[in-house]
Amino acid sequence: MKRPLYIFWLLLSLLLGLGAGLAYSWQISPRPLNGASPALLRADFKDQYRSAIAAAYAATGNLPRAQARLALLGDENPAETLSAQAQQSIARGNFTEADQLAALAFAIQSGANASLPPLPIETSETVSVEPSPLPEPAFVLTETPEPLEAPPVETLPPVLTSTPRPTRTPLPTQGAPFRLIGQETVCDPNLPEGLLQVIVVNASRRQLPGVKIVVTWETGRDEFFTGFKPELGNGYADFLMSPGVSYAVQIAAGSEIVSALVTPDCRTSSGETYPGGYKLTFQQP
């Protein structure tokens, strides 16, 4: 008869102890939520963190600071992660955020500023300081009794014109422009018809993600980035051409324009014709 009562008090004690522990940890002395590493953030919060870093880099152009902030996230390859997030932003229609993310990814890969910082504010108001008044003629003329014919005010224009007016600081360049090092006609019936393949590499032949490519034709224009298909290469991007349309391709960061690209006619082993494609390779010297 005493055994059920003993179990009842044991369960009651456990529940009271659990409740007291929760009350102490949640209400009396909760653990402060500070000093946590950004690497412990949820995936969507990490994306917001990267977007904020890319926006700050676009405004300041401070690449070392952006790299230090990205290191806190613990990404294995920050440039590839930024490039993949840029493609996600394009899919959502947020092209401003995509440009900022892609620019930061390109800067990390190439080691040069890929986005231009804002123009500095002209400081003409702070430079044009009023000149100090000239001394009295009595202190200057010690050998001739006659006063100076030209008043002191007349010497002000040469003083003001001798100081050059400040100009805007020249914008930093984005490095040497890309150049076309390879153009191949691709005839492969296993590939989509009219497939335009673009590969972008640096001077070491390492593929660069996040590079914007611009394709134009008579009635339209399209922009896309490398790195969207990492299984084909970090510097790979492609575009589907329509038959009979002439296209022009250029790297947005600066390159020669490859024009008059029309889908070539290819033949199968049985003699049937089908639209082929091109493979363009750009390199940054």
Mention every residue, 6+ apart, whose C-beta is less than 8 A from residue 266.
185, 187, 189, 273, 274, 275, 276
pLDDT band at 283 (very low <50, low <70, confident <90, very high): very high
pLDDT digits (tens, 9 = 90+) for 77-90: 898 898 889 888 88
What mean pLDDT is predicted for residues 175-190?
86
Does 117 have pLDDT greater than 50? no
Q: How far apart are CA 9 and CA 171, in angstroms?
A: 78
What mean pLDDT is predicted for residues 113-119?
41
pLDDT digits (tens, 9 = 90+) for 29-52: 777 666 667 888 888 898 999 999
pLDDT band at 121 (very low <50, low <70, confident <90, very high): very low
Question: What 3-state class would DSSP assign to 40?
Answer: helix
The residue whose two tokens read 């690449």 is: 63
Q: Give me the pLDDT at residue 98, please.
A: 87
Domain boundaries, the chain: 38-110, 179-283
Q: What is the pTM of this model?
A: 0.47
pLDDT band at 187 (very low <50, low <70, confident <90, very high): very high
pLDDT band at 168 (very low <50, low <70, confident <90, very high): very low
The residue whose two tokens read 């040469």 is: 158
State which CATH number among 2.60.40.10, 3.40.50.261, 3.90.180.10, 3.30.70.1070 fits the domain covering 179-283: 2.60.40.10
Q: How does DSSP assign 116-145, residue by residue?
A: PPPPPPP-HHHH-PPPPPPPPHHHH-SS-S
Contact criterion met (CB below 8 Å) for 97 and 117? no
Does 169 have pLDDT greater than 50? no
Contact criterion met (CB below 8 Å) for 210 and 79? yes
